[in-house]
Structure 1
Amino acid sequence: MSETLVVGKGLGRDFRDGNAGLVTVLTNVDCEIVSGARIALVGPSGSGKSTLLHILGGLDKPTTGTVEWPGLGSFEELRPRWIGFVFQTPSLFPALTAVQNVELPLILGGKAPADNATAMSLLGSFGLGDVADKLPEELSGGQAQRVAMARALAIGPKLILADEPTGQLDSVTAQLFFDVILKRLEGTDVALVIATHDEAVAARMATRWTMDHGRLVRGRHRNEAA
């Protein structure tokens, strides 16, 4: 039976813009993420996808509405233990090598590795074994993003939120990247939510959420009629 991990009710988010005044990014969004979910969050740029992910991941607070994590424990336990977050642009620590970046959530989560076997295995699955000892500045944008995904997977989270993780990859590499993620999560209850403009990626997810001008206008399962 699926476990409810995150519930958002009436979520709204406003930002102050010096020139435009108050800008509304999210409006009255209701959503729920359950264990094992595979959700593609789609919509045009500026529709609120990133803001919604940040709120669901506890990185931002809604202006209105509430977000709760019934299946993930307290707010303080969310990251890095239960939520793995992959940002739109690579967010690696510049002073750490690729393998050290992947190991970091294990250390922060109190699971300091005796060796780097877990991190090396993850890097290898993304075709990055030969760059394990390189610093982020020595990696391409696509390599850095794959390291970031490996880092998100390292500690075994219950939920992965990924914001345009294939945005810096060509279409073939993006599909291979996605193959690795789905294979890693196969047979697990880990929920995956990916904000994406890549229709090929979105089509492989069981559920599609569509954002339009800050509103979640449709949440549809792949097997439902359009």
Structure 2
Amino acid sequence: MITDHFPILGLRVRTPRLELRPPSLDDLSALADLAADGVHDPAVMPFLVPWTDQPPAGRALSVIQYNLGVYSRWTPEEWHLPLAVLREGRVVGVQDMTARDFAVTRQVSTGSWLGLEHQGKGIGTEMRAAVLHLAFAELGAREAASGAMEGNTPSERVSRRLGYRDDGTALFAIRGAPLRERRFRLTREEWASHRLDLSITVTGLEPCLPFFGAEDRSE
């Protein structure tokens, strides 16, 4: 089985409503359809890389190619974990987590997107809570970072609800104009005091630990 060689593909994170898992080819097809149908109001750009400015077919193809590519570049020193988010067996979006030199820094960063029809239902908060549980409770992370472009109020609200604190800003050129990103940071202690009262389970993790650079999960 492929998980004998790359166990990351067998990782599962579950909450009362959601399942997060590395996307299968069928999941990628569903994500491509979601992206083609739209991820946000075209008048705003919530991403540093404006991949959603492409036509629907281009958005769909970019989702497939990008997600397949992250596995080919995976190393314990620099990894990117994209997780398809499913609700009642239906793919609704993506929650990802990245890290560089995790064995040393114990720091992760997160990002996400949801199909338009699935927004405003609390899914974004629940899937972020799920990946933070994976980071802090299972991998031994000490800090998590996130960011929200100006105007991306839903993402900022999720961060604040989960206990992140302000961590400065950065200015980028997006669509030929300056746009500021607000950055947030969450320590292990802040996560513990703000974590949601959710039953979260993780399966398939043990063989993945060397791939995350997380064999030593001591405090």
Shorter-chain TM-score: which interval?
0.3 to 0.5
TM-score after normalising by structure 1? 0.33
Q: State the structure with more CA Rg.
A: 1
More helix by share: 2
TM-score after normalising by structure 2? 0.34
